[in-house]
Structure 1
Amino acid sequence: MPSTDRKRPARRTGPATPAIPPTDGLLDFYRQMVFIRRFEERAARAYTEARIGGYCHLNLGEEATVAGLMAALRPDDYVFTNYREHGYALARGIAPERIMAELYGRSDGVSKGWGGSMHMFDIAARFMGGYGIVGGQLPLATGAALAIQYRGGSEAVVCLMGDGTTNIGAFHESLNLAALWNLPIVYVVVNNGLGMGTTVEQSSAEPELHRRAAAYRMLAARVDGNDPAAVRDAALEALESARTGRPYLLETMSGRLKGHSVVDPARYRSREEAERLKASDPVAAFAVRLHETGLLTDELIAEIDAEALGAVAGAVAFAEASPHPDPSTLFDHTYATPVPNDSRRLPGEALFPAAPRPAAEPAGVRA
């Protein structure tokens, strides 16, 4: 059983995090944000063209939060997300061609075409999947953190969720266990102000969601989700805490430029609110900031945009050329145990083979 001692357990903390200069990586942040923006815009277009099926939720307006959070992780850390996951997969280093192919439902996709927009998984990147059930990722991420502690590892887990997830039971159960057992996990609430079409103020008695950590004596902070450097720095602090056995709740404040999903027209927003969100677009605002500091020029802005559009076009071409998965492989990556119509079984092989007979008892031997 896990220890209930509230003292920090002895764990390997790994290499120390070096100090980061104020301007380090800012252009890289901008390139990544632009690429995520162009990728998501192309995904939206492909959905309206019926090239992408099922559900599709985009990171439009959350690019700074995505880039900042993923920059703070080590390669051996684990990421659990909800269904708004494309940008996180891109920032985690998964090839955009494989991500686009997954959106298209093709066999070269990151989940071999069977997962689609909401269910991407890549063990090499320690990207442990998107989850369509609200809050479904929280208990799993908490369990992964428990496994790290049990092994004495130095990794940490980052578990992403939207603001609406903080009202379900799994949120409270997971935070309680993480705090009780001193688990190496950072829970991140990406607060875009809306749980589908309901505002945080309408659904939460405590709209400052990071304050909920106080119920579990857990460290917490709120950060400007439109500033990738601020998000990175806050996430580094949170991860450092988690690695020493003090779990953390981080709330990033961002905006959602479009509806909850591609098919949501967002009619619950007033024209004034839509204009306010457009004016606070993190990609455009970050470009202005870098331009003012001299790190970005008009020519470089055009060059970065052209590079992003070219890379996205390449990802689309790859997805279009990728074959559809064979329907006979439907169950191959769904169940660990045998199931009917499982193409991994040989023809005529029994679904549940009979247990082997015990060896014959030698003559003259009695029990």
Structure 2
Amino acid sequence: MGYIEDKVTGMPAAFRNVSESALRDALRKMILVRRFEESAEQAYMRGLIHGTMHLSIGQEASAIGMTMLLTDDDYITSTHRGHGHCIGKGADPKLMFAEFFGKETGYCRGRGGSMHIADVSRGNLGANGIVGGGLPIAVGAALSIKKQKRDSVVVCFFGDGANNEGAFHESLNFAAIWTLPVIFVCENNRYGMSMSVERSTAVSHIAQRAAAYDMPGVTVDGNRLSDVLEAAETAIARARAGGGPTLVECETYRIRGHSKSDRNRYRTREEIDSWGARDPINILQAQLLEHGVIDDAAIEAMRADVEAEIDAGLDFAQHSPSPRIDDLVRDVYTPELAQEGNRQ
């Protein structure tokens, strides 16, 4: 699906169906995702965050575009590279930072870290460190929605590496058989760790695999929010109306490596720079400026507001209490086993 414009105004077709305030909010969220991850990366380099993290810098349009039309009654399943998905679904950055820092005030009380943020109250069923792990969970949630005769939908994010997992094929097959309200969103950032999609996948576009399961499959420019939003609108409407699943492939790129230990020896600087020139935030910002949805002063104020939110979130996380040793098994075992564990 290409970039479609209004023949009169030149405004992308998908933008005509949402308010200008929603478009400004989308830009702000994309900037917030970027600054959240850049700040988390800096905190990691300063030794304030331990473990590892997987950054989605460069992929903000797919995360925000696919969640813009969702409500708290809709659901998402996410990936190990899911910070943008969380923010798109309404997560509070200060609670995300607290989770990164392993603090009691984090979304998972500091137990989950970067790869396992969840907030069921907002429909975020959780990120997942298992490649393709969110696919069967999304199908289960969609089956529950159908059994309860609700009009909610599930957006299931996964990467190109997951499209060769058995769970991918099993999940699409069941979703099609049962006509479930789920949208499968492949964020094709070209690499599964260091393996290029050209070397790992036989088809030229992952969306082609939808044909095997008798569902629509569409490939969009994942760096253009307008293209992502257009695909999201069609797929979500189909799911809500009882039409069943859709596979959406967002072609995008992660500017950073797979994880913090990635030395980027499998791709060239020229390739990274060429994708960096297609920055999704810059593309959306230019579109909104061109059509008078926002001006330079508003963008400057927006960025300042985001910086203030990031600073406040980092301060909140650093000054939040750490979990108590006595609560080590809380929320892990049943209360009876937790008490037994504490006695031991």
CA separation of 1:343 and 1:114: change in aligned 2, threshold 3 A = farther
Equivalent in the alignment of 2:263: 265
Q: How does 1:3-152 map to 2 (within 5 A)?
A: 20-21=17-18, 25-152=22-149
Q: How many residues align?
A: 329
How much has 1:65 moved relative to structure 2? 1.1
Task: Give the Cα separation in 2 of the matches to 1:343 and 1:186.
Answer: 42
How much has 1:151 moved relative to structure 2? 1.6
1:105-144 deviations in Å (ceiling 9; x for gaps):
1000011100000011111111111110111111111111
Per mean C-alpha deviation after superposition, the further-off stretch among 277-286 and 168-177 is 277-286
Unaligned runs of 5+ in 2: 1-15
CA separation of 1:218 and 1:260: change in aligned 2, threshold 3 A = same
Task: Give the Cα separation in 1 of the matches to 2:41 and 2:269.
Answer: 22
* Preserved contact between residue 188 and residue 250 of structure 1 (Cα < 8 Å): yes
Task: Give the Cα separation in 2 of the matches to 1:61 and 1:199.
Answer: 17
Equivalent in the alignment of 2:201: 204
Task: Give the Cα separation in 2 of the matches to 1:304 and 1:21.
Answer: 20
Equivalent in the alignment of 1:185: 182
* Preserved contact between residue 30 and residue 64 of structure 2 (Cα < 8 Å): yes
Task: Give the Cα separation in 1 of the matches to 2:335 and 2:204.
Answer: 44
Per mean C-alpha deviation after superposition, the further-off stretch among 46-55 and 106-115 is 46-55
Which has the larger share of helix?
2
Task: Give the Cα separation in 2 of the matches to 1:336 and 1:241.
Answer: 40
Over aligned residue pairs, what C-alpha RMSD do you find?
2.0
Specify the code of the residue in structure 1 equivalent to 2:169: H
Unaligned runs of 5+ in 1: 1-18, 349-367
How much has 1:185 moved relative to structure 2? 0.9
* Preserved contact between residue 224 and residue 283 of structure 2 (Cα < 8 Å): no
1:190-246 deviations in Å (ceiling 9; x for gaps):
111111111111100013001101001111211221122321221121112122141
* Preserved contact between residue 179 and residue 244 of structure 2 (Cα < 8 Å): yes
Equivalent in the alignment of 2:293: 295
SS of 1:130's equivalent in the other structure is coil
Task: Give the Cα separation in 1 of the matches to 2:334 and 2:251.
Answer: 39
CA separation of 1:275 and 1:169: change in aligned 2, threshold 3 A = same
* Preserved contact between residue 329 and residue 341 of structure 2 (Cα < 8 Å): no
Specify the code of the residue in structure 1 equivalent to 2:139: T
How much has 1:298 moved relative to structure 2? 3.0
1:222 aligned to 2:212? no
Specify the code of the residue in structure 1 equivalent to 2:179: N
* Preserved contact between residue 98 and residue 106 of structure 2 (Cα < 8 Å): yes
Task: Give the Cα separation in 1 of the matches to 2:42 and 2:340.
Answer: 36
* Preserved contact between residue 99 and residue 114 of structure 2 (Cα < 8 Å): yes
Equivalent in the alignment of 2:7: none
SS of 1:300's equivalent in the other structure is helix
Task: Give the Cα separation in 1 of the matches to 2:283 and 2:167.
Answer: 36
Task: Give the Cα separation in 2 of the matches to 1:154 and 1:297.
Answer: 37
Per mean C-alpha deviation after superposition, the further-off stretch among 146-155 and 261-270 is 261-270
* Preserved contact between residue 219 and residue 246 of structure 1 (Cα < 8 Å): no
Task: Give the Cα separation in 2 of the matches to 1:101 and 1:328.
Answer: 20
Of 233, 244, 247, which aligns to 1:246? 244
* Preserved contact between residue 161 and residue 190 of structure 1 (Cα < 8 Å): yes
1:318 aligned to 2:316? yes
Task: Give the Cα separation in 1 of the matches to 2:278 and 2:339.
Answer: 51
Task: Give the Cα separation in 2 of the matches to 1:33 and 1:49.
Answer: 25
How much has 1:285 moved relative to structure 2? 2.4
How much has 1:148 moved relative to structure 2? 1.3
